[in-house]
Chains A and B, each alone.
Chain A
């Protein structure tokens, strides 16, 4: 039984890492700019389709496509930010919702047009397939990869935010925009890069998730709910919060399904409702 628990923990942790990558960008931009970007998972879709095309049509090795997925999604995020989003920073939450939902619709239709609605997959390298068996335990290579990769990205992010000049500027802009501007920090630029980074990370998450959950044009909406749950539970603007929330969600989802399968889909919503009622600002939320 212990081995089953260990297996569930491990799988849940990997699933949580995926959720983290998909959500962290939204948490930061929502917390920093107060901009409700429901098109966040469209960025994930951009990265996912980029990877799928490079691997499937151009024969690239899977890992080499990951930076491209990141850059692709970051560029799209940047373009959208420059053209649309920045005009609505002072607009109401509702208008931001409407705009970004419109963009989601457009993105789903566009991808359905170019790639059809067919279910897509990627060929991952042989060494990422299969699993390690240690007695009764089984650790899938791909999940180990996800955990390692996710932790590396988290470390990079935290280092970037805590130790670099850019990170300091971002933190200043999040805490007090007016003051930051007064100190001569180019807040617009900080926003722009953070947005691009958030989008890029979503793209990376999207590319990595194909192997686990598949890919089709409705991806942009299907995972939005999970991402919103992670962001709400974690607390806006908090990388650590998103991390913990994603892990908690991943593990509790997995554990719930293993130990109480009749609860099924209820569990993730019950956990969310419970956690939010206890901590409305999220586990690590400011404000």
Chain B
């Protein structure tokens, strides 16, 4: 079977990734925001792996994000402040957690699955709050500082932060892309379309799902770790239900199952939120709500889905 056709880079994709370098020149005072968008984009991409491609709707994905974040923070506080090694450890440990939970998660579907993932997320958040001797509780983890990466300082202007976050995002994106276009990825999509048929043609679905879930957990953990390292802060918010819900909204907004949906959703949602809250800091969520309603009514299946339908119609 030839997959090479699918893996060839389309010109639009190349343009997109080149554009991600623009903020360095065009909007240098927005680089901190850009780094947090990149982090959220990675987080949304990891959710897309399980939701868009494997059909696992998770309302507790922040568990892995926060787990990675706290791991990176604790390493920086108690051991060493070199970020790359800590990043890898954080990603791996989130992956281990994901692997453990995946055994339970993949056995369920529909509402039970959603509520179970939410439940695990809430339990982990509560545990982090209770273990405040380790995590700092509601005040967040204090007393650590990640000065920089590879000799570049994480400064106030966010240049290094954005470069770092973007690099991690791009690497993970490449990995995702490879996975999606591999036989494993096709099997995932098959499972999403029709879970009962797949075992009949020899693809063991639960093992596939566990693998996908674990990889998604690793990536979410990496995103969380990058956040910790670029801001030198970690708080319970990284594990919160709010963050899980936000990333779900972002992914749906961008369009799930389309590889770029999470990234697009992150860019649009966070830029919109930033602009709206600048204009109306007390009521910005009114405008965001309006945007969400408008997108659903006019662009079904998210922005990418809607654009895709529009493009098809136009042909």
Establish whether A and B are touching in the complex (CB under 8 Å). Answer: yes
The 6 A-B pairs at the shortest CB distance, nearest first, are namely A105-B289, A102-B292, A109-B286, A280-B112, A106-B289, A102-B293
Docked Cα-Cα span, A106 to B287, in Å, equals 7
Docked Cα-Cα span, A266 to B124, in Å, equals 9
Q: Given A108-B285, A228-B118, A269-B122, does the pair A277, B300 have CB atoms closer than 8 Å?
A: no
> Given known contacts A112-B282, A276-B115, what 9 new A-B pairs fall within 8 Å (CB)?
A95-B301, A101-B292, A102-B288, A102-B289, A103-B289, A104-B289, A109-B283, A272-B119, A282-B112
**Interface size of B in residues (CB-CB distance below 8 Å):** 42
Q: Which of B10-18, B74-82, B222-230, B247-255 contacts A (4 or more CB under 8 A)?
A: B247-255
**8 residue pairs from A and B, CB less than 8 Å apart:** A91-B300, A102-B289, A102-B293, A109-B285, A232-B112, A265-B122, A276-B112, A280-B110
Scan B271-315; emit 1 where CB is below 8 A from any A CB, else 0: 000000000001111101111110111001110000000000000
B57 within 8 A of A: yes
Q: Which residue of B lies closest to A30 (CB)?
A: B111
Docked Cα-Cα span, A268 to B288, in Å, equals 32
Docked Cα-Cα span, A264 to B127, in Å, equals 11
| B108-142 at interface with A (beta carbon < 8 Å) | 108-112, 114-116, 118-120, 122-123, 126-127, 130
Taking beta carbons and an 8 Å cutoff, which residues of A are in contact with B?
A: 30, 84, 87-88, 91-95, 97-99, 101-110, 112-113, 225, 228-229, 231-232, 236, 264-266, 269-270, 272-273, 276-277, 280-282
Q: Which residues on the B side are within 8 Å of A228 (C-beta)?
A: 115, 118
Q: Which residue of B lies closest to A96 (CB)?
A: B296
* Secondary structure dominating the interface of A: helix
Q: Which residues on the A side are within 8 Å of B241 (C-beta)?
A: 225
Q: Which residues on the A side are within 8 Å of B300 (C-beta)?
A: 91-92, 95
Docked Cα-Cα span, A272 to B120, in Å, equals 10
Q: Which residues on the A side are within 8 Å of B288 (C-beta)?
A: 102, 105
Q: Which residues on the A side are within 8 Å of B118 (C-beta)?
A: 225, 228
Q: Which residues on the A side are within 8 Å of B249 (C-beta)?
A: 97-98, 101
Please determine whether A273 and B119 come into contact, CB atoms closer than 8 angstroms. yes
Partner of B116, one of A92, A104, A273, A282: A273
Please determine whether A99 and B119 come into contact, CB atoms closer than 8 angstroms. no
B234 within 8 A of A: no
Q: Which residues on the A side are within 8 Å of B252 (C-beta)?
A: 94-95, 97-98
Q: Given A109-B285, A273-B123, does the pair A87, B297 have CB atoms closer than 8 Å?
A: yes
Within the complex, the shortest CB–CB distance from B67 to chain A, in Å, comes to: 17
Docked Cα-Cα span, A91 to B305, in Å, equals 13
B41 within 8 A of A: no
Please determine whether B293 and A103 come into contact, CB atoms closer than 8 angstroms. yes
Q: Which residues on the B side are within 8 Å of A281 (C-beta)?
A: 112
Please determine whether B293 and A269 come into contact, CB atoms closer than 8 angstroms. no
Docked Cα-Cα span, A229 to B112, in Å, equals 10
Q: Which residue of A lies closest to B293 (CB)?
A: A102
B180 within 8 A of A: no
| B231-280 at interface with A (beta carbon < 8 Å) | 241, 245, 248-249, 252-253, 256
B104 within 8 A of A: yes
Looking at A30, A87, A108, A225, which has the most chain B CB atoms within 10 Å of its CB? A225
Docked Cα-Cα span, A91 to B112, in Å, equals 20
Q: Given A94-B256, A266-B126, does the pair A276, B296 have CB atoms closer than 8 Å?
A: no
Partner of B286, one of A105, A264, A269: A105
Q: Which residues on the A side are within 8 Å of B126 (C-beta)?
A: 264-266, 269
Docked Cα-Cα span, A266 to B286, in Å, equals 33
Docked Cα-Cα span, A6 to B127, in Å, equals 30
